[in-house]
A and B are shown apart, each in its own frame.
Chain A
Amino acid sequence: DIVMTQSPDSLAVSLGERATINCKSSQTVLYSSNNKNYLAWYQQKPGQPPKLLIYWASSRESGVPDRFSGSGSGTDFTLTISSLQAEDVAVYYCQQYYTGPLTFGGGTKVEIK
């Protein structure tokens, strides 16, 4: 199984400041044949299901604010919130879909400082 490791476990950021979340996979999730990274990011608020933010590592889902961006390739990925808003308080998960079983990172909790 591909193990997804997120860091940090939690972080507190001031409103308007940048938040950076890291995700590392135990093996590459980059498919060389199409040069795509099979990596998604989700946001989960308390009592709600996860919401898809980013797919193919850097493609923003429709309706997701452009302050959310994904980057990285191979085994190392980053989700960046460029200017943290109060409504961004949540737990964020990465997920690989390169191969089965589909696996998720352990989550990163983002709070307001």
Chain B
Amino acid sequence: QVQLQESGPGLVKPSETLSLTCAVSRYSINSGYYWGWIRQPPGKGLEWIGSLYHSGSTYYNPSFKSRITISVDTSKNQFSLKLSSVIAADTAVYYCARVISSGDPGMGSFDFWGQGTLVTVSS
């Protein structure tokens, strides 16, 4: 089965950039599928951040405006999230997941998820 594992700093200072990586195993990112990031503030619901394809095509949630960058490193079979100018409200568990495409680029449901990593924004 496909496995995903998030990694990155658990603490980020306000106004700095949050950087996370999702390592994919038992499946080659180059083989297809879209890959996505979703976050969940403590005790709250789920929010889609964005998705990408192995070609590098990206699809972002407009609510993040120009703060996010999602990229892929196919040589390492991983993809990354950068969220700039973070504030306390960006504190959340961040998940990476595989997207079952609905046919529209970047859109779909999520069948395999990482365990998630808690990122706290605090000085």
- Chain A contact residues, CB within 8 Å of chain B: 38, 40, 42, 48-52, 55, 61, 93, 95, 97-107
Contact = CB atoms under 8 A, between A and B. Distances in A.
Interface size for chain B: under 10, 10 to 19, 20 to 34, or 35 or more residues? 20 to 34
Given A49-B113, A61-B111, A95 B46 contact: yes
Interface string B90-101: 000001010010
Contact of A102 (B107, B114, B116): B107
Contacts, number: 61
Q: Is the interface of A mostly helix, strand, loop or mixed?
A: loop
Contact of A104 (B45, B59, B63, B114): B45
Contacts of A104: 45-48
Contacts of B109: 40, 52, 55, 95, 97
Nearest to B64: A101
In the complex, which of the residues A50, A51, A93 has the most CB atoms of chain B within 10 Å of its own CB atom? A50
A100 B105 CA distance: 10
Interface in B38-52: 45-48, 51
Contacts of A42: 46, 110
A107 B45 contact: yes
A42 B114 CA distance: 14
Contacts of B102: 38, 97-98
A93 B111 contact: no
B35 to A, nearest CB: 13
Given A38-B102, A100-B106, A52 B111 contact: yes
A42 B48 CA distance: 14
Contacts of A52: 100, 109-111
A49 B95 contact: yes
A98 B63 CA distance: 18
16 contacts: A38-B102, A42-B46, A42-B110, A48-B115, A49-B116, A52-B109, A52-B111, A55-B100, A55-B109, A93-B46, A97-B104, A97-B107, A100-B59, A100-B106, A100-B107, A104-B47
